[in-house]
Structure 1
Amino acid sequence: MTFSCFGSFRQCKDNRGTQVQGLEIATNNVRLFSYNSLRSATENFHPSKKIGGGGFGVVYKGVLRDGRTVAIKCLSAESKQGTSEFLTEINMISNTRHPNLVQLIGCCVEGVHRILVYEYLENNSLASALLGSKGKPVPLNWTKRAAICLGTASGLAFLHEEAQPPIVHRDIKASNVLIDENLHPKIGDFGLAKLFPDNITHVSTRVAGTIGYLAPEYALLGQLTKKADVYSFGVLILEIVSGSSSSNAAFGEDLLILVEWAWKLREEGRLLDLVDPELTEYPEAEVLRFIKVAFFCIQSAYNQRPNMKQVIEMLSKEVKLNGKLLTKPGVYRPHSSKRSSYGSNITTSSKGKKSVTSTNTTDFHSFQSVSEVVPR
């Protein structure tokens, strides 16, 4: 059955012109688009209109009939949910609104097509602006980078603590943080974890995410909690400070990934060597504090990581963080358990099953338990 939907959920009809039962979902926040209208908006999904893509689909720039420019994401796999259930999830996500979340405008559920329509942000993604992965990089001084860190943390904290039900993003990374014309950050794709079953992923048939950002307990054992997002956010801070990609760059003679390189610089007492060479002027004390916050976020044991509200507090206040409480970060390297670290040990049994042993199991109950708060 093919659906042609315009305006609101109450006006959905099938290809015989019959009102479809079960799709009357009360909402004023999201529109249903026909496939033909989105095809027209993108000039038949012309390659020149493509502005991004990833494990969940391809994104096109489109112009609607009313002249509004939007980002149109064609999902690469069909959800196992029925149409009514899919639209119910869309309705819930459309009600999840925050200044640091990309706004979902509408969707298309027609035949096999599952398409999401988002607000369009002029400067594309943080990956494009910071790492120069697409087009001309946007100049980002330290003040702008710090604001992007805080804004992204605020959006993630909302998903974890205020959204109902709470949402674990599962794929926090620079290409999923979009920035508007004022360099205001907005987290994208925050609803895809709910719209897709667990077996529709980026990395394997079990774990969703991107290499370089994956928390080890999630990558190795499939243990998904909010703290997996916290880990990814810690990696993102290191990228913003260094201007280097966690998933594509290697450092030093040992070809270390970004997390490993940052920790090595800490051990050698030269953390400021991590700072992007393009940052010719920056407040050293504040930059060092941001790096230390990143280290707290990427602790091996997930219960040693702060929650996102605590992260915001550490980023936004001039406090002295007790670096003595830090332990070596957890690192996930696919197909190479010898180069991975999690707590004190990662072992492989005769049956190939990985087991994890952590030397530190103290819960991260409060900000005071992991940081020494001292006004400067």
Structure 2
Amino acid sequence: MAAESLHSLALLLILLLRAAGTASSDDSAVMSEILTKLSPPGWSSSQTYCKWKGVTCDSSSSSRVTAIHLASSSLSGVLPSDLSSLSQLQTLSLQQNSLSGALPSFSGLAFLQYLYLDGNNFTSVPAGAFKGLTSLQTLSLSGNLVLAPWPIPPELINSTSLVTFYADNANIVGTIPGFLGSLPNLLNLRVSYNNLTGTLPSSFGGSTIQSLWLNNQATGLSGGINVLAGMTDLTQVWLQKNQFTGPIPDLSKCTTLFDLQLRDNRFTGVVPTSLLALPSLQNVSLDNNKLQGPVPSSSRGIHITYDGTNSFCNTAPGPCDPQVAALLEVAGALGYPITLVDSWNGNDACQGWSAISCQGTNVTTVTFSKRGFSGTISPAFANLISLRTLLLNDNNLTGPIPDNLTTLTQLQVLDVSNNNLSGLIPVFPTSVKLTTTGNPFIGKLSPGGGSSPSGTNSTSGGSPGRSNGSSLSGGVIAAVVIGVLIFIGVVLFVLYKFCYINRRHRKFNRVDNPEIGMEVAKNGAMNGVNGFGGLPSELHSQSSGDHSDFPVFEGGNVAISIQVLRQVTHNFSEENILGRGGFGVVYKGELHDGTKIAVKRMESGAMGTKGMNEFQAEIAVLTKVRHRHLVALLGSCINGDERLLVYEYMPQGTLTQHLFEWQEKGYAPLTWKQRVTIALDVARGVEYLHSLAQQSFIHRDLKPSNILLGDDMRAKVADFGLVKNAPDGKYSVETRLAGTFGYLAPEYAATGRVTTKVDVYAFGVVLMEIITGRKALDDTMPDERAHLVTWFRRVLINKENIPKAIDQTLNPDEETLESIIKVAELAGHCTAREPFQRPDMGHAVNILGPLVEQWKPTSHQEEESSGINLHMSLPQALQRWQADEGTSSVFNTMSFSNTQSSIPPKPLTFPDSFSSTDCR
């Protein structure tokens, strides 16, 4: 027996060793296949795969692969079908490559937490590809434009750890599954630019979702959006360009909502006053709906747009006519039927409103017969004091007949027959012809109720203390009741503690994987994991040691060690220089996963306590500002007297290089489509900065060298700064005049006064450069042509001169020439000598937008933005950020919650002026 036992034990050990050896060889086989098929940079068969660039293995002798970081590595080809054999894989970053073919199955990868596949050319998603991913926290598939139609994977119902699901521009079809609203940790759901249909799931009500992007569906989502009222964690909602209907719900419980995009839908009804009272709200778009009632307005600087097809009663904010207000309240009780919208516009109900008849200026008849309306009869009918005839018959109305209708002294006919009304019938004067037949519940308090016509409730059954069986003693009943109450109390206490701890864990401890790479969202295609320019989750070196000392990017206020910046820039080597400016040198840095950043090394100079506080205060603010057309400031470093800033990296360089240095840089000349698209991007970015102007933000030094381009040639504005707040929207700075005189408005060049119109002037100069291919100041030209603005404004006197002034590389056809002339005229208006003659930047956006739209660009990014709370002063905002245990994570790429602010704990104030070394 002993021999047999030993033999069995030896056999078992052999099997276990074989299994372990097979597992190890599985990783080797798959990694070798990846090397063969994709040839990633830094991978060589002469090394073990654990030493390959971007590959991380566990510390055990089995050498199991736990992470592969190959983002932006110029990969092409097809992934191995047996990728799921990497059973210990936790992170797979393959974003921003050219991978093609069917997506492999990841089924069974129980340890996989982060999966980045966005920005590739995958052709299909197999059914069940994400089955069993119980640890999955982030799934990003955005920007896979050639995917065959596929639904949101139903197997994700078991991925209860899922925090982020991004699948913009990925050809998703079908409806939004209800289980998404039930995932306990889901914070970010972004599936814009697909072909989702149907309604919002009711399960969304009460969900944890914060960022919800469902905009620009091909056919359009439909139905109402009342479910949003229960989504109290919402911070950003993008529903634009769908087919949503019904009224805007009361969102007063969504106190953290800062960005609401509802334009280009079919919403009806009055804009709730509670909406514009939300404490965090900054941006609202309501354009091109069927909204009614007063024009929405806010006294605290909310950026709100409402142009297009809406049917507001007036063209400017102010109350509606009393009869109009009453009828809109009536429509509200019916759910604001869209059939009433087209004719119910203007501020006079007697001017062509359907179903409304008047005598003179007074409404006398409302005819809603056989309209299919549901809802209730509004008491607001009683405000139509001249009403004689009210026909509501043959609909699906519920509830009671309002008692106050009896106060209508001129009412003669009231027909409510053939509905589902209930409740008591009010006593009308005998002069009123009242018809109530066809309402089976009329005279009762509610459908199915047992009230008598007199209103006395009738009940049946025995006494409440008696059962049909044996009776119980009072003591037993009391004991049972007390026991049940105690049990319920314990359960409620446990649930409360669990939810409270869970919520705090989600809020403050979302960063739990130090190996995750930084994803920089590509400019213009929403195919990265961040629509605002890409905040990294962690910046660390390529060393394999302990990463505990490295900082985590948490949406701003990030202090980064000089050692880290030296590592990622190769000790600020010459070959890493991106450019030189008046404030220092900018270096390219590369993280271990291949993601690139830009590091601006400021000019050194002695910095006292006041200067240090000013620097940190400004960084604290600027890192909070996020807009897809503004280069994101990600963090900063103070090393003795040296100051450094970390920005997102823009791989295509500056507009200057593409306009004036394209031949020596090896670029193709910019097409007109590219130029006007870049101009629109810049206008949108500057327009957003102007929306922040009353909180001390202003853009300055706008010129092509401060316009940076992403991979897809979409533009972002860089080098915007912070200046002291001053009365009347005017700003005073005591600093050297940065940049070339050719971009400075006359009033700024002479007086140093900065207003938003100074930026408009500089923008006009940029437009002229885009049109002509000439610099603002060119000493090689004759004097009369050296100053671009002076010369081009003379050109504009006669439109026939414009074709001769156009950049010859454009070679425009007739349609393009017409577009160029429109932009040329805009440039002339923007550079008017007197500030009051220049338009606002919003006007530039309105002019350029249709020109870009006519080409139907493949990237339909919107100008959505986020930023600080505009209703707070800067000192208030700073103190709030300092005091918060965790700052807002609404700008965070991975939606990792923020930890303690790095701003010094004492209150900071902004200086009267900023010198030339103030972080520009």
Q: CA deviation at 1:46?
A: 1.8
2:615 alignment partner, one of 86, 89, 92: 86
Asked whether 1:34 is paired with 2:561, we answer: yes
State the alpha-carbon separation in 1 of the partners of residues 641 and 591 from structure 2: 22
8 Å CA contact 2:623, 2:632 repeated in 1 = yes
Asked whether 1:145 is paired with 2:675, we answer: yes
Asked whether 1:220 is paired with 2:747, we answer: no
Q: What are the Cα deviations for residues 24-69 of structure 1, in whole angstroms up to 9, with x where unaligned?
A: xx96434221122212222222222111121122111112355431
| Cross-structure match for 1:270 | 801
Q: Report how many residues are paired.
A: 288
Asked whether 1:179 is paired with 2:709, we answer: yes
State the alpha-carbon separation in 1 of the partners of residues 790 and 735 from structure 2: 29
Superposition pairs of residues 150-229 of structure 1, within 5 angstroms: 150-162=680-692, 165-191=695-721, 198-201=733-736, 207-229=737-759
Q: CA deviation at 1:200?
A: 4.4
8 Å CA contact 2:733, 2:752 repeated in 1 = no
Report SS of the residue matched to 2:637: strand
Asked whether 1:308 is paired with 2:819, we answer: no
Superposition pairs of residues 234-273 of structure 1, within 5 angstroms: 234-248=764-778, 251-252=781-782, 254-267=784-797, 269-273=800-804
| Cross-structure match for 2:828 | 295
Report SS of the residue matched to 1:248: coil
- Structure 1 stretches (4+) deviating beyond 6 angstroms? none
Residue 651 of structure 2 aligns with an amino acid whose one-letter code is: E
State the alpha-carbon separation in 1 of the partners of residues 723 and 778 from structure 2: 24
8 Å CA contact 2:579, 2:586 repeated in 1 = yes
State the alpha-carbon separation in 2 of the partners of residues 200 and 48 from structure 1: 32
Q: What are the Cα deviations for residues 161-217 of structure 1, in whole angstroms up to 9, with x where unaligned?
A: 1467252222000000000010010001113657xx94543xxxxx33422101111
1:116 alignment partner, one of 642, 645, 657: 645
Higher-helix-fraction structure: 1
2:586 alignment partner, one of 53, 59, 68: 59
Residue 591 of structure 2 aligns with an amino acid whose one-letter code is: L
Q: Sort the Cα spacing of 1:108 and 1:305 in 2 relative to 1 into closer, same or farther, 3 A.
A: same
Identity level (%): 36
8 Å CA contact 2:707, 2:716 repeated in 1 = yes
Q: Sort the Cα spacing of 1:243 and 1:193 in 2 relative to 1 into closer, same or farther, 3 A.
A: farther
Q: Sort the Cα spacing of 1:247 and 1:220 in 2 relative to 1 into closer, same or farther, 3 A.
A: same
- Between 1:222-231 and 1:72-81, the stretch displaced more is 72-81
State the alpha-carbon separation in 1 of the partners of residues 830 and 580 from structure 2: 27
Q: CA deviation at 1:124?
A: 0.8
Q: Sort the Cα spacing of 1:315 and 1:175 in 2 relative to 1 into closer, same or farther, 3 A.
A: same
Q: Sort the Cα spacing of 1:28 and 1:285 in 2 relative to 1 into closer, same or farther, 3 A.
A: closer
Q: Sort the Cα spacing of 1:211 and 1:148 in 2 relative to 1 into closer, same or farther, 3 A.
A: same
Report SS of the residue matched to 1:270: helix
Q: Sort the Cα spacing of 1:28 and 1:143 in 2 relative to 1 into closer, same or farther, 3 A.
A: closer
Q: Sort the Cα spacing of 1:186 and 1:193 in 2 relative to 1 into closer, same or farther, 3 A.
A: farther
8 Å CA contact 1:160, 1:166 repeated in 2 = no
Q: CA deviation at 1:298?
A: 0.5
| Cross-structure match for 1:74 | 601
State the alpha-carbon separation in 2 of the partners of residues 136 and 228 from structure 1: 34
8 Å CA contact 2:579, 2:587 repeated in 1 = yes
Report SS of the residue matched to 2:823: helix
State the alpha-carbon separation in 2 of the partners of residues 208 and 190 from structure 1: 12
Report SS of the residue matched to 2:635: strand
8 Å CA contact 1:170, 1:209 repeated in 2 = no
Q: CA deviation at 1:255?
A: 4.2
State the alpha-carbon separation in 2 of the partners of residues 193 and 139 from structure 1: 36
Report SS of the residue matched to 1:32: coil
- Between 1:114-123 and 1:56-65, the stretch displaced more is 56-65
Q: CA deviation at 1:110?
A: 2.1
Residue 747 of structure 2 aligns with an amino acid whose one-letter code is: E
RMSD, aligned α-carbons: 2.6
State the alpha-carbon separation in 2 of the partners of residues 151 and 241 from structure 1: 16
State the alpha-carbon separation in 2 of the partners of residues 108 and 198 from structure 1: 25
Report SS of the residue matched to 1:157: helix
Q: CA deviation at 1:252?
A: 4.5
Q: Sort the Cα spacing of 1:280 and 1:255 in 2 relative to 1 into closer, same or farther, 3 A.
A: closer
Residue 638 of structure 2 aligns with an amino acid whose one-letter code is: V
Residue 51 of structure 1 aligns with an amino acid whose one-letter code is: L
State the alpha-carbon separation in 1 of the partners of residues 779 and 788 from structure 2: 7
8 Å CA contact 1:234, 1:295 repeated in 2 = yes
Q: What are the Cα deviations for residues 134-162 of structure 1, in whole angstroms up to 9, with x where unaligned?
A: 72234311111111111100000000014
Q: CA deviation at 1:307?
A: 1.1
State the alpha-carbon separation in 2 of the partners of residues 88 and 164 from structure 1: 17
| TM-score in terms of structure 2 length | 0.30
State the alpha-carbon separation in 2 of the partners of residues 251 and 264 from structure 1: 16
State the alpha-carbon separation in 1 of the partners of residues 752 and 719 from structure 2: 20
Residue 792 of structure 2 aligns with an amino acid whose one-letter code is: A
State the alpha-carbon separation in 2 of the partners of residues 224 and 159 from structure 1: 13
- Between 1:222-231 and 1:258-267, the stretch displaced more is 258-267
Residue 118 of structure 1 aligns with an amino acid whose one-letter code is: Y
Q: Sort the Cα spacing of 1:233 and 1:126 in 2 relative to 1 into closer, same or farther, 3 A.
A: same
Q: CA deviation at 1:121?
A: 0.8
8 Å CA contact 1:169, 1:193 repeated in 2 = no
| Cross-structure match for 1:330 | none
Residue 270 of structure 1 aligns with an amino acid whose one-letter code is: N
| Cross-structure match for 2:636 | 107
Report SS of the residue matched to 1:150: helix
State the alpha-carbon separation in 2 of the partners of residues 219 and 40 from structure 1: 42
8 Å CA contact 2:596, 2:648 repeated in 1 = yes
Q: CA deviation at 1:260?
A: 1.7
Q: Sort the Cα spacing of 1:316 and 1:155 in 2 relative to 1 into closer, same or farther, 3 A.
A: same
Q: CA deviation at 1:267?
A: 3.3
Residue 97 of structure 1 aligns with an amino acid whose one-letter code is: R
State the alpha-carbon separation in 1 of the partners of residues 829 and 779 from structure 2: 22
| Cross-structure match for 1:332 | none
Residue 177 of structure 1 aligns with an amino acid whose one-letter code is: I
Q: CA deviation at 1:263?
A: 1.8
Q: CA deviation at 1:309?
A: 0.8
Q: Sort the Cα spacing of 1:284 and 1:28 in 2 relative to 1 into closer, same or farther, 3 A.
A: closer
**Relative contact order (C-alpha < 8 Å, sep 6+): which is higher?**
1
- Between 1:66-75 and 1:161-170, the stretch displaced more is 161-170
Report SS of the residue matched to 2:626: coil
State the alpha-carbon separation in 2 of the partners of residues 300 and 278 from structure 1: 30
State the alpha-carbon separation in 2 of the partners of residues 280 and 38 from structure 1: 45
Q: What are the Cα deviations for residues 206-237 of structure 1, in whole angstroms up to 9, with x where unaligned?
A: x3342210111100122211111110000000
Q: What are the Cα deviations for residues 294-323 of structure 1, in whole angstroms up to 9, with x where unaligned?
A: 1111000111111111221233357xxxxx
State the alpha-carbon separation in 1 of the partners of residues 628 and 779 from structure 2: 31
State the alpha-carbon separation in 2 of the partners of residues 103 and 244 from structure 1: 29
State the alpha-carbon separation in 2 of the partners of residues 311 and 297 from structure 1: 9
8 Å CA contact 2:555, 2:634 repeated in 1 = no
